[in-house]
Chain A
C-alpha cells in the first residue's frame, strides 16, 4: 500500500482566517514533504521533515507553518494568506530507511482558494 491521504480536499479561506491542512501516511515512511503546485506548473518544494524534524525550508513565508506531530502525520498551518497563495498543496512521503528509498509518493492534494 502506497497511500498518502490529505484533508480537506478543498478549502476556501479569507485572508484573516487560520486553517490547517492535514496529511497522513501509514507506510512507515520517515520523510514527509509539502509541495505547492500552481496551475500548469510542476510542484515546488516547500518543506521537508526527516524523522519528525524539519530539515528543509525552501524560504517559505512564515504565514505557512508546518508541523509533524508524529511519524504518520504532517500538518500545514495557514494564517493571513494572500490570494496568490491559492494553489494545490501536495503532501508526499518517502521511505528513508529502505535501500536508497528514492521514491516519493504523493497524496491527492488540497485545493486552496484564498479570497
Chain B
C-alpha cells in the first residue's frame, strides 16, 4: 500500500540553525512527493514538490530531493527563521490515482529567537 512516515515532533530550534525533517515513503512505481506547510490558524500551502527520482524541489530556502533508492524525501533548510514556525506535512500521490494524497503525521517546528 501507500504510506508516508514522518519524523516525530515537536522540533525546537534556535534561529539560524540547520533543519532536517525526515520523511520516508512506501509506494509502488513512481509517486509524486510533496511538502506542505501549515502556519498557525491557516490552511495547507504547497512548499515544494518532486515528481520523479533525483528531482530536487526547492522554495523559500527549503529543499528536498526525491531519493528512490532510499524511498526518502527529507526536508532541509540551512538557516531557519522564527517565521518558519509551522507544521510540516510530507505527502505522496501514487503514480496512478492522483486523487489520493497520503499524508504523514506532520512535524511541528518551533524556532526560537
A42-B42 contact given A102-B51, A104-B101, CB 8 Å threshold: no
Count of A-B residue pairs with CB < 8 Å: 55
Beyond the given A40-B106, A42-B105, A107-B43, please list 8 additional residue pairs across the A-B interface where CB-CB is below 8 A: A2-B46, A41-B105, A48-B99, A50-B99, A102-B32, A102-B93, A103-B49, A104-B101
Tell me if A106 and B36 are in contact (CB < 8 A): yes
A residues touching B (Cβ–Cβ < 8 Å)?
2, 6, 31, 33, 40-43, 45, 48, 50, 55-56, 88, 90, 92, 94, 100-109, 111
> Given the complex, which residues of B lie within 8 Å of A102, measured CB to CB?
32, 49, 51, 93, 98
Tell me if A103 and B42 are in contact (CB < 8 A): no
Chain A nearest Cβ from B9, distance in angstroms: 10
**Interface SS of chain A:** strand
CA distance A81 to B99 in the complex (A): 26
